[in-house]
Structure 1
Amino acid sequence: MATINLVRGMGSFFKECEHPESRWPRCPHEYKIRYRNAAGRQTEESGFATQDKAKSRLAEVYQARKNNPQSQHKAARVQQYSPMQFHEYVTEWKAGQRDLSPSSLRHLDSLLVHHLYPAFRSRRMGTFDHKVVEAFIQTMERNGVGLATQSNAFDKLKSILLDAHRLGLYDDSPLDGVKPPQYDPKRAVIPSAPQIRDIRTAGDDTFRLVADLMSGCGMRNGEALAVNINNIVADDVYRITEQVNQTTKTYAPLKHRKAGDYRDVPLAARVRHSIESYADTYGTIDGYLLRHPRDLTKPMPNHYIANQWKRIKNDGLVEIPDGMVVYGLRHFFASNCLGHNLPITDVAEWMGHKSIDVTFKIYRHLMPGSISRAAELLDLGLAA
């Protein structure tokens, strides 16, 4: 089936018959038209006896769409932003990213400087399509850029281009059909229960408290450093409300959450005892247990725990799995939960993951045989 496209944006007309285009004026079959309506959806109409009637209807629809106030606003936006260079557009877009934390802004700037600006700095925004995006991914692959960085750079480009698409710069999204970089994080290195018992006592009392909070409540490093005795909202519930930001070295909102947001996590009796014992021994300031060793007006710095961890590993007095980092204490919490058949949806919430996909991707190897186990249970039900 042949189609004849008119001026860009007007649409096309065609016939669904066996006759070649040269015989259309003489064959009895009706003409059909295809165009995008005011909402941008592809639409077809039929019942046109001649080409002139089909063209006349396309022109009528096109003119009505042009005169629509919404279309006029879109045309004005396209005229304003389409010639704009990428770096100019990003400057304006970035000003609207008010929810980004200082560390997230720092990460964004790094991706812009090292990956996106070298590739697109002076490119006109209206010239992006799926081929341009594909070429960018292929260039990163050829240059040996790590998959994690490829994925992060693509995600930032995606956010920028989707913003431009919403403004109406593209009829079709320049991301349609693009296969994103496939980043698969390395398997988490998780200590065993006996190893956890040895590791938590290998440092000072501050290290032990942080180890208990990470392995017992699933806190991130910075969240553990912001522990506050007032956040024990029940004997078995701790409310995580903030973290010590590694960049600003101040208390900050939780990752992926706005100021004032929180998440409640299970509080094991041993962890509650650890919090209360530390508070009884060292006291608190506004409820905070951990403060800077040389300046009690400031939060405990992230490097304090990192330095102890380095010493513990170098001493070699306790068994630590190869490749384990401090974050492995938090991995133990997820492992402990999933090993006791707690729902992965709950674990994802307690861990503070942005999506359950993150939880599954990191910890799916902790659920071996789950399909086989499901088959056994289903078989028992069917046999009943």
Structure 2
Amino acid sequence: MAQFERRGVGRRDVAHIEDRWYRPTQDEFGKVVVNGRGKPVMERTERYGKGDRYRVRYLTPAGERRSKSFADKQKGDAEAFLITVESEKRRGTYVDPTAGKVLFRDYAEQWMRGQTFDESTRESVEYRVRKHLYPMLGGRPLGKINPGLIREWDRSLYDVLSASTRSVVFAHLRAILGAAVDDEKIVKNPCTARSVRQPRPTERRVVPWTREQVAGIRRAMPERYRLVVDLGAGCGLRQGEIFGLSPDDVDLDAGVIHVRRQVKRVRSRLVFGLPKNDRDRHVPLPSMIARRIEDHIDGGRFGPTSITLPWENPLTGKPTTVDLLLTTTRNGALNRSTFDSKMWHPALALAGIERSRATGVHALRHFYASALLDAGENIKSLSSYLGHHDPGFTLRVYTHLMPSSEDRARRAIDSVFGGDE
């Protein structure tokens, strides 16, 4: 340990162990008195017998002074601690012990401020973090959050949240603690420990509607809103994208729809924003759907109507005016929750379709996907039409709807011979 106990010039900047109960004796000239073996003669300090005896002093890689105290008869522990610190500094794995004292709540708030979420995503993330993470973890120092606590937290929500929601909240927690590792607040992310299992959402197989069900829901809808069914089942648009569609987005000559925006609710107010995953896209426009769009706006009975909403942020977003194909009877932008309760749910009842999580407006997209797969469309193109972030996601959701290789072979040969005997 001599290398850590050097005294003299610059000692405060050299890692060392300080004995606060004893100090070298000095003569009247201030010179250290040594014994016959050439070692300093030690004398008691005014702190003798009070508090911790040893103090390890060292510099962090950033040049900041740190110290840690140890009791009498724990010099060996102090030496081991100092050796560990210096070793971690050389390996580049050192984490400042004081960094882990930051409360989870404070760090999570900082983390959320630093994310480039769109406003609706930000609202959702903030809600989940504050609702489901802060009650148990918010007041805990980052350095005190260990795998056991993560398991305890997950168990506390087991009977409260669905596996799907728990999985999303766990992903937020893992991201926050992962950032804490990157910021050198903690050494390891406890969410990645082998003993911690990420909640797995229950896989629900998509069961697409039949053509009869789609036709039935369309008949049951008020005429003003039948185009919702057409655009969902015929073009695969999301509900918010349907509500945000303008005649200017429809290219009848090219036979495509440009999906450029959606209507969504952020902090209880409607706004325009980019489609999900922050990307616009082109979607094939079937001639039948094109005719229904023309019928919808023929004579101006149902639009288009100019609507002005903030872009993305209800408080600071730039006011944006768009001519919308679908609006309320009072010429306002459509609100998803109001539309569902006032239009969609009654239409389900009239069509004889049981109301459930699987029979929302999103069911129209599943019908669209199943129809394209049945016709032989490839996953990459379907993923692009649906606006998915990854074809792998599309494959996981719809793989069971893809025709088997035997079916494709039969269809290919039948198409060649035309069913001739």
1:344 counterpart residue number: 379
Deviates more, 1:131-140 or 1:205-214: 131-140
1:308 counterpart residue number: 343
| TM-aligned CA distance change 1:373 to 1:291, over 3 Å | closer
SS of equivalent residue, structure 1 residue 354:
coil
Does structure 1 residue 362 correspond to structure 2 residue 406?
Answer: no
Does structure 1 residue 325 correspond to structure 2 residue 360?
Answer: yes
What is the total number of aligned residue pairs between the two structures? Answer: 305
| TM-aligned CA distance change 1:374 to 1:212, over 3 Å | closer
1:108 counterpart residue number: 125
| TM-aligned CA distance change 1:368 to 1:359, over 3 Å | same
1:169 counterpart residue number: 185
State how far apart, in whole Å, the 2-side matches of 1:117 and 1:333 are: 41
Counterparts in 2 of 1:126-275, with a 5 A limit? 126-141=143-158, 143-176=159-192, 177=194, 178-233=196-251, 235-247=254-266, 248-257=269-278, 261-275=279-293
State how far apart, in whole Å, the 1-side matches of 2:242 and 2:176 are: 34
State how far apart, in whole Å, the 1-side matches of 2:347 and 2:103 are: 51
State how far apart, in whole Å, the 2-side matches of 1:190 and 1:373 are: 19
State how far apart, in whole Å, the 2-side matches of 1:127 and 1:215 are: 51
SS of equivalent residue, structure 2 residue 283:
strand
Which of 301, 318, 328 is residue 292 of structure 1 equivalent to?
328
State how far apart, in whole Å, the 2-side matches of 1:100 and 1:279 are: 32
TM-score, normalising length: structure 1: 0.70
Match for 1:149: what amino acid? Answer: T
Contact 2:348 2:355 in 1 (8 A): no
CA-CA distance at 1:357 after TM superposition? 4.2
CA-CA distance at 1:156 after TM superposition? 0.9
Larger RCO: Structure 1 or Structure 2 (Cα < 8 Å, ≥ 6 residues apart)? 1
State how far apart, in whole Å, the 2-side matches of 1:60 and 1:147 are: 45
| TM-aligned CA distance change 1:275 to 1:79, over 3 Å | farther
- For residues 342-382 of structure 1, the C-alpha deviation after alignment (integer angstroms, 9 at most, x for no partner) is 11222222222233343233323313645x77999xxxxxx
| TM-aligned CA distance change 1:375 to 1:329, over 3 Å | closer
State how far apart, in whole Å, the 2-side matches of 1:128 and 1:289 are: 51
| TM-aligned CA distance change 1:101 to 1:350, over 3 Å | farther
Counterparts in 2 of 1:67-78, with a 5 A limit? 75=95, 78=96
State how far apart, in whole Å, the 1-side matches of 2:261 and 2:280 are: 8
Which of 125, 147, 160 is residue 142 of structure 2 equivalent to?
125
State how far apart, in whole Å, the 2-side matches of 1:299 and 1:108 are: 25
Match for 2:334: what amino acid? Answer: M
State how far apart, in whole Å, the 1-side matches of 2:387 and 2:119 are: 16
Contact 2:205 2:397 in 1 (8 A): yes
State how far apart, in whole Å, the 1-side matches of 2:146 and 2:284 are: 47
State how far apart, in whole Å, the 1-side matches of 2:379 and 2:178 are: 31
State how far apart, in whole Å, the 1-side matches of 2:408 and 2:211 are: 27
CA-CA distance at 1:84 after TM superposition? 0.5
State how far apart, in whole Å, the 2-side matches of 1:375 and 1:340 are: 13
1:22 counterpart residue number: none
Contact 1:189 1:321 in 2 (8 A): no
- For residues 255-311 of structure 1, the C-alpha deviation after alignment (integer angstroms, 9 at most, x for no partner) is 221xxx3111121111122222222332423432223322x3x42232235412222
Counterparts in 2 of 1:3-82, with a 5 A limit? 66=89, 75=95, 78=96, 81-82=99-100
1:83 counterpart residue number: 101
SS of equivalent residue, structure 1 residue 249:
strand
Contact 2:372 2:382 in 1 (8 A): yes
TM-score, normalising length: structure 2: 0.64
State how far apart, in whole Å, the 2-side matches of 1:306 and 1:127 are: 46
SS of equivalent residue, structure 1 residue 291:
coil
State how far apart, in whole Å, the 2-side matches of 1:154 and 1:201 are: 42
Contact 1:251 1:299 in 2 (8 A): no
State how far apart, in whole Å, the 1-side matches of 2:89 and 2:343 are: 67
Contact 1:291 1:300 in 2 (8 A): yes
